[in-house]
Amino acid sequence: MNIQTIMVIGAGQMGSGIAQVAAAAGFQVLLHDSSPEFLNRGMLAINKQLSRNVDKGKLTPEGMSEIVSRIQSTEFVELAEQADLVIEAISENMALKVLLFHRLDSLCPAHTILATNTSSLPISEIAAVTGRPEKVIGMHFMNPVPVMPLVEVIRGLETSQEVFEVVYELSQRMGKTPVEVNDFPGFVSNRILMPMINEAIFTVYEGVASIESVDNVMKLGMNHPMGPLELADFIGLDTCLSIMEILYDGFKDSKYRPCPLLRKYVKAGRLGRKSGQGFYSYQE
């Protein structure tokens, strides 16, 4: 399989980051979003990140121009017919992903690989709505994509060895370190990370310690660069809750029960950095 053109669906923080690293690796990139506003924001984010690299001397202005020239933004998902690989990076919602993959299956040529950047949803269930389950795979990038080296490469039940090898090698070409993972709720990263964050929220909920104290214990005692509650705000409390619910539903184990305080914050619209208020305030 000769991957030349990659379509990234979803121009949010993850999608724009994936588009940037793919273009920097020399691929032609189609960045799709149904929202022109999100497309504009995504392209601005890419330009801002690349400009920082130019200012730091990590990239020449000519190099930046070359990368940006490889990215074509589009509101038309139909351009997926040009892609050798599609990487989906939309909301963490199974119903939306299933609808999208069913559509992509009808639009894309038979050789096209369909990848999902899901952080916790089952690859095999997404693949089952297509006529090419052997060509469906998980590529879970970390946030922020241009900085974080890890990609979890997740095999679905039907994913072929050839497709796995192509995606594994492609991740390396993007400058990432791929790690092979099997299809279980939360994979490795979120199966370990999210219960830690959830437990940190429980310690605040139960009055064990303050928000600042919990984060300081983990930063100063465990050498974490960010405290778990700071990290939850960065990820988005709604995303944390969604992943905990997927773990709880997938394993039917009470240790994955979302903390009531997490539910309360999400219902109140306190979602973290993106809403301006989470466990900490980000109001200017």
206 in catalytic set: no
**What average pLDDT does this structure show over 112-129?**
97
Q: Which of 16, 32, 88, 140 is catalytic?
A: 140
Query: Nearest-5° angle of CA 142, CA 148, CA 152?
Result: 45
Q: What is the mean pLDDT of residues 23-42?
A: 97
CA dihedral 84, 85, 86, 92 (to 10 degrees): 170
In this structure, the number of other CB atoms found within 10 A of the CB of residue 9 comes to 24
Task: Single out the catalytic residue among 152, 171, 230, 242.
Answer: 152
Instruction: Tell me the Cα Rg of the chain.
Output: 19
Task: Please give the CATH number for the structural domain made up of 189-274.
Answer: 1.10.1040.10
State in words which class domain 5-182 has: alpha beta
Asked if pLDDT for residue 255 goes beyond 90, the answer is yes
How does strand 177-182 pair with strand 71-74? Answer: unpaired
Catalytic residue among 16, 119, 120, 171: 119
Question: Would you state the pLDDT for residue 1?
Answer: 76
Active site (annotated) includes residue 117: no
Of residues 117, 171, 190, 242, which has the active-site annotation? 190
Rounded to two decimals, what is the model's pTM?
Answer: 0.92
**Binding-site residues for NAD(+):** 10-15, 33, 92, 97, 119, 143, 274
Contacts of 125 by beta carbon, 8 Å cutoff, 6+ apart: 94, 98
- For the question of residue 2 being annotated catalytic, the response is no
Q: Work out the mean pLDDT of the chain and round it to a whole number.
A: 97
Q: 193 has which bridge partners?
A: none
Pinpoint the residues of the chain covered by CATH 1.10.1040.10. Answer: 189-274
In eight-state DSSP terms, residue 258 is P
Is 224 one of the catalytic residues? Answer: no
- CATH 3.40.50.720 domain locations along the chain: 5-182
Say if residue 151's pLDDT is above 90: yes
